[in-house]
Structure 1
Amino acid sequence: MPKQVDHDQRRAELAQAVWRLIRRSGLEGVTIRALAEESGWSSGAVRHYLPSRAAVLAFAAEQVSAQAEAQLRQLPLHSTPRQNLLNFLEATLPLSAESREWLEVWLAFVGASVGDPQLAGVQGLTYRDLNAALGEILTQLQAHGWTLAGPPQEAALDLQAALDGLSVHLLLGVITPEQARAALERTIDRLLTAP
């Protein structure tokens, strides 16, 4: 009887191997051969799932969005909308080992995307997904009587810009998690007023 292969598990293993490569060697260190060595697979097995370097990079970038979304969906809800928003925002910062890992990969893609339109397009998925989620949260808060300092999409952009800056500062170690949390709270308080 042929061996049953869990393709989702195999793709998850590849994602972890690609992320280790990116975190250790940057995007330039990602090749099919390097991925085969890192994963312990043959180059042929890697190519079965990801036939080219471009496919490997696109897959790694898509996994950043998937990991972020999975982490955000697991957040518990609290009694206050402000605390729920703060928890959502904090979950996108590199404050845990897991989020630090995918944000290090995200930062590698951000740097490389500046000069590569194809990577910029893939990276744009993460931005659009987060912006849409923030816009939706802010629209719901507004519907429940919260006052926003501008339209929901503008406030979402302001929050997203704060998250990007805080993420970079945390990854570089120039601010502490406590400073990042305090900055987020100040940003929320500038953008939102409770009913």
Structure 2
Amino acid sequence: MPKIIDHDQRRREIVAVAKKLIIQGGFEAATMRSIVAEAGYANGALKRYFPSKDSIVAATFQSVLAEMNERIAADETPADPREALRHDVEATLPLDTYRIDSARVLLALWEHSMANEELAALYRAHLQDWRGRLAERIAAARGADESADAPAVTHLAQEVIAVAIGASVTSLMFPDGALIPEYRAYVDRLMQKITD
């Protein structure tokens, strides 16, 4: 009887290998040859799932963005709007080794997306969704009957995104997590600022 292959699982495994290689050696380390060798597949088998490096890169990018969204949705969202906002902000900051590694992958993929319009469009859409979700959380947390598109709210949402992206980049220089207390202190300051 032929072996039943879970093709979706194979794709996830290949993406995990690409991510691991990017974490270890940057974007250049994730060649088709190195992915095949690390995954233990024949080159032809890899091409069945991903016809090119760009297709693996796109899937890896989508995987990292999906993981960020899953972290936000992973726990039950707190009922208190301020705690819900805190939860969402903390989910996007590099507050553990796993998220610092994810930041390394994102940085490599951001650079690659500058020359790949499909990836750039994917990330722009992610940023728009992220900004909208944050603006809704901020408006609710402020409790001032402001809409999510009020200038003060959108300004704070942009600030959080800029800090999260900057923290992700900076964390790569401190992969031991030395900056985690600073990022947590930022969240505390942000929550104070929301009520001012």
Match of 2:170 in 1: 169
Shift of 1:86: 1.4
1:9 aligns with 2:9: yes
Superposed counterparts of 1:172-183, under 5 Å: 172-173=173-174, 176-183=179-186
Q: Partner letter of residue 25 of structure 1? A: G
Identity percentage over the alignment? 29
Aligned residue for 2:172, secondary structure, equals helix
Structure 1 unpaired stretches of 5+? none
Match of 1:184 in 2: 187
TM-score, with length taken from structure 1: 0.84
Superposed counterparts of 1:20-59, under 5 Å: 20-59=20-59
Match of 1:64 in 2: 64
Shift of 1:114: 4.1
Match of 2:126 in 1: 126
Match of 1:158 in 2: 159
Q: Distance in 2 between matches of 1:26 and 1:153?
A: 34
Q: In the alignment, is the contact (CA less than 8 A) between 2:72 and 2:87 conserved in 1?
A: no
Measured against aligned partners, the alpha-carbon deviations of 1:143-195 in whole angstroms (never above 9, x if no partner) come to: x54669834333211211111122222232295211111112223332x228x
Match of 1:18 in 2: 18
Shift of 1:69: 1.3
Superposed counterparts of 1:100-119, under 5 Å: 100-114=100-114, 116-119=116-119
Q: In the alignment, is the contact (CA less than 8 A) between 2:95 and 2:180 conserved in 1?
A: yes
Number of aligned residues? 192
Shift of 1:40: 1.0
Shift of 1:15: 1.4
Shift of 1:27: 1.6
Q: Distance in 2 between matches of 1:178 and 1:95?
A: 8
Q: Distance in 1 between matches of 2:7 and 2:98?
A: 23
Q: Distance in 2 between matches of 1:175 and 1:137?
A: 28
Match of 2:195 in 1: 193
Structure with the larger RCO, 1 or 2 (CA within 8 Å, 6+ apart) = 2
Q: In the alignment, is the contact (CA less than 8 A) between 1:21 and 1:30 conserved in 2?
A: yes
Measured against aligned partners, the alpha-carbon deviations of 1:84-113 in whole angstroms (never above 9, x if no partner) come to: 211221111121233222221011122333
Shift of 1:60: 0.9
Q: In the alignment, is the contact (CA less than 8 A) between 1:32 and 1:53 conserved in 2?
A: yes
Q: Distance in 1 between matches of 2:63 and 2:131?
A: 17
Q: Distance in 2 between matches of 1:160 and 1:188?
A: 15
